[in-house]
Amino acid sequence: MTAPPRTAAFDKWVTIATPSPQSAVRLVCLPHAGGSASFFFPVSRALAPRVEVLAVQYPARQERLREPGIDNIPEYADQIFAVLAELDDKPLALFGHSMGAILAYEIALRMQQAGRPAPVRLFASGRRAPSRYRAERIHEGTDAQVVAELKRLGGPNPALLADPEMLELILPAVRSDYTAIERYRHDPGRRLDCPITAIVGDSDPRVSGDEARAWAEHTEGSFDLKTFPGDHFYLVGQARNVIVLIDRTLAIGMR
């Protein structure tokens, strides 16, 4: 198997922490609002060499800090799809957490519309189905209100929220991401063909069981729902179990 292309656009958007050129499948991981590619580096190490993990790095954070954020889902999905379209040598699966789940869904739709092979699996983590909306306007709030929301969700780096200098760096990306996801509306006339696995924490304040099960309405393929103990960031405490689930699901799907 050949390595993925290393164009400037690819390197800007995609980080491969653990290259696995002999893998049978690639897993594209899309972070939550305000998240970064490094969130998935432990997943990359754990799944190598069977699965090669491509972690997407959004603008306005870490090494892309000086770039403006993107405040709408269609533009996000268009740009990421354009980069992933360079990959055609082995199957792709998509894993998105929270906002990343919606991006994974929209990227899969673009793959389908372009006549490309469908993802072998879409893992939708910590996010209600695209057709399930809530009246959320966190992006319109004050910085203090945005920080309060991040604390309520129990993010993976609580120390950052207590550091004024770090907050100054991360809040622009958080706000643009929240703007994108809170204004998002799906196209009810489009459905996927690929299988979907929805994964949620049993005490996630942002996703109910019914909202997670509604992902089944968005595909002609198979659907299953997995629930783990935990809140919106259940996958931090349940990392090993989630990685086993991904590994086993992809192994079965590639037979």
Give catalytic residue positions.
Answer: 98
Complete DSSP assignment for 160-221 = GGG-HHHHHHHHHHHHHHHHHHHS----TT--B-S-EEEEEETT-TT--HHHHHGGGGGBSS
d(CA 30, CA 127): 12
**For strand 25-30 and strand 92-97, is the pairing parallel, antiparallel, or unpaired?**
parallel
Neighbour tally for 136: CB within 10 Å: 13
d(CA 64, CA 228): 33
d(CA 247, CA 92): 13
